Structure 1
Amino acid sequence: MSLQSTFQPRHNSLNALRLLLAWLVIVSHSTALGGYGDELRVGGETLGGWAVFGFFGISGYLITRSRMGARRVSDYYRARALRIFPGYIVCLLVVAFAIAPLSYLFGSTGRYELLDAVTWALRNLPLYLPFINQPGISDTLADGLVFPNTWNGALWTIGYEFFCYFAIGVLVSVAKKTHLGAILVVCFCAMTAVRLLAGWHVIAVPQMLAGALPLGISFSAGALLFIYAQRVRLNNYTVAIAFGLLLAVILAGAATSLAHLPFAYLMLWLGQRLPLQTVGSRYDISYGVYIYAWPVQQCLALAFPGQALPYWAFVAVTTVLVIPFAWASCKFIEQPALRLKARQAAAEALQGGQDRLATPPVR
């Protein structure tokens, strides 16, 4: 069977996979933020990096599907903005005006300045844009932490994800459908080649671009899987080939450059095969887990300095504490925003039907 015929948009386990990936980011970041050592690496990439690759691969497939199915490009961009910005903005406000000023309760001896909190929220509002973003708020974290001036370092990927949304939106608008696949193949191969050459130190690329390239490769891999979904097979042989390719890449230590396509394929395959469709069907908290975990971990690092908590306990406590933030974000911010999107779409569809009924037929 093809990926197109197998994929069920309303009955899959992708929400469960995204939640697992968000938790893997917690597991990965805990080693560094808690001061337990360097992050675990698999195939030359951190565990958190693998999780982000999974996020972007799944997004590449789903977002390209959304753009191709949108009646108007404005509907697509509005839907994407309502998915990203409400939860993101509230997270900035919560960190700036609730978590940071209360950091002294967790052991911080630094000062909190309201003006600095305001500039932190405003400068990070453009999705943590490089060169504009502000990592810290006064010196509320300057107490011997591994990252003493970063209140939410996980947000840097959100801007690149939204840029991918924008890029695929423009591409579908300006390119012919018959050319989309070829253009995406060229983009995928070009980014992969640049990343490989940079990894081999053949060429030098700016650090910002070096970090963004793997995300773009993962997203384009997911987009390609959607464009060619009718030709992509899901059977034991193709899955075994994908696993084999991924294992070879891991053994070669080239995950950052070459793992994206087989990994995205396996994420989508698992999304169809795992019996976890009910996980996240009512409350998809994966986004909230991702954007709130870092501030929670910084507070834990303040409260338990010098690895006072065992590593496994640091991960467990972070997981327990971040769930209420993520659930509240989903329940009171993200879901109302998505309902607004649905109501607007329904109202526009109704208005369009009324307009058609009011228009006399052309004879």
Structure 2
Amino acid sequence: MILMALFRKYIAYAVLAIFLAAWGSYLLWHEYLLNNPSPLRFIHLNTFDILNFGLYFLVGSLLYFFRKHLPLKGSIALLLFGAFMISYGLSSGLGWVPLMAIGWVRYIFLPYLIIYLGMQPSIWKSFDKLGDLSYGLYIYAFPVQQVLITFFLAKGLSVMSMFGLALALLLPLAWLSWTFIEKPSLKLKNKKLSLSMFLPASKSIRTPLH
């Protein structure tokens, strides 16, 4: 238990250090990698995408690691939203700060808002009738999006179009996964499994008496 606690502690600070390094140097790598991407074709991403999307992932991880010190509150979400709108107005509207500076606030605001909304049961209560689709949406999102990019990106598929099409495909996939894989599997977690459960029932053989 002590080793696990130390491991988690150092992992949390390692993730924090990586985030601060990437986030703090945002203005240095953003423009260069955006104009000079190194494609990773097997996953349809490039070095810019890895850093860009990776920062959102790191913030989500940090919100979990430091959840005791970073509570999810509506007031904090509103404060971050206000900071995002101010940064957008100062950059896009007035031109007082570089447009790229929005990223400094965006990388923190969006993950916090999404996780905050995701943790509000009143918002998602109506979805309970369909089952827990969260895991299915999570594991199938990437392959579905990659398939859509492979076949439709050259045809001018926009980001919002891909989002809508991916969601339309993911919802039934997640429901099928929950209904026929996840839910039956969860019912087995408290049962003691033995080899006899997976073997066909054998008929008892009686030895004839002479």
What TM-score do the two structures reach when normalised by structure 1?
Answer: 0.35
Match of 1:220 in 2: 58
Of the three residues 241, 261, 278, the one matched with 2:108 is 261
| CA separation of 1:322 and 1:179: change in aligned 2, threshold 3 A | closer
- Residues 262-277 of structure 1 mapped to structure 2, 5 A cutoff: 262-273=109-120, 275-277=122-124
Q: Secondary structure at the match of 1:231?
A: coil
Identity over aligned pairs, percent: 18
| CA separation of 1:298 and 1:319: change in aligned 2, threshold 3 A | farther
| CA separation of 1:250 and 1:322: change in aligned 2, threshold 3 A | same
Query: How far apart are the structure 2 equivalents of 1:232 and 1:324?
Result: 34
Of the three residues 232, 236, 246, the one matched with 2:84 is 246
Give how far 1:318 is off. 7.2
Aligned: 1:328 with 2:176: yes
| CA separation of 1:325 and 1:225: change in aligned 2, threshold 3 A | closer
Match of 1:230 in 2: 68
Match of 1:42 in 2: none
Match of 2:203 in 1: none
Aligned: 1:286 with 2:114: no
Give how far 1:247 is off. 2.4
Aligned: 1:186 with 2:17: yes
Of the three residues 196, 220, 224, the one matched with 2:27 is 196
| CA separation of 1:198 and 1:347: change in aligned 2, threshold 3 A | farther
Task: Answer whether contact 1:288 1:327 (CA < 8 A) is retained.
Answer: no
Give how far 1:337 is off. 5.6
Task: Answer whether contact 1:196 1:257 (CA < 8 A) is retained.
Answer: no
| CA separation of 1:328 and 1:297: change in aligned 2, threshold 3 A | farther
Amino acid at match of 2:27: L
| CA separation of 1:201 and 1:287: change in aligned 2, threshold 3 A | closer
Q: Secondary structure at the match of 2:115?
A: helix
Amino acid at match of 1:230: K
Q: How many residues align?
A: 167
| CA separation of 1:339 and 1:187: change in aligned 2, threshold 3 A | farther
| CA separation of 1:293 and 1:250: change in aligned 2, threshold 3 A | same
- CA deviation vs aligned residue, 1:171-218 (integer Å, no higher than 9, x gap): x96954554443332111112234431113399774433211123222
| CA separation of 1:271 and 1:212: change in aligned 2, threshold 3 A | same
Structure 2 residue ranges without an equivalent (≥5): 40-45, 92-98, 194-210
- Residues 1-363 of structure 1 mapped to structure 2, 5 A cutoff: 175-201=6-32, 206-207=38-39, 208-235=46-73, 237-251=75-89, 252=91, 253-254=99-100, 258-273=105-120, 275-281=122-128, 282-284=131-133, 285-287=136-138, 290=141, 291-292=143-144, 295=147, 323-336=171-184, 342=189
| CA separation of 1:273 and 1:198: change in aligned 2, threshold 3 A | same
What TM-score do the two structures reach when normalised by structure 2?
Answer: 0.54
| CA separation of 1:217 and 1:323: change in aligned 2, threshold 3 A | closer
Match of 2:197 in 1: none
Task: Answer whether contact 2:22 2:55 (CA < 8 A) is retained.
Answer: yes
Task: Answer whether contact 1:283 1:330 (CA < 8 A) is retained.
Answer: yes
Give how far 1:231 is off. 2.0
| CA separation of 1:321 and 1:277: change in aligned 2, threshold 3 A | closer
When the two chains are superposed, the root-mean-square deviation of aligned CA atoms in Å is 4.5
Query: How far apart are the structure 1 equivalents of 2:137 and 2:81?
Result: 25
**Higher helix share goes to which structure?**
2
Question: Radius of gyration: which is bigger?
Answer: 2
Query: How far apart are the structure 2 equivalents of 1:189 and 1:237?
Result: 24
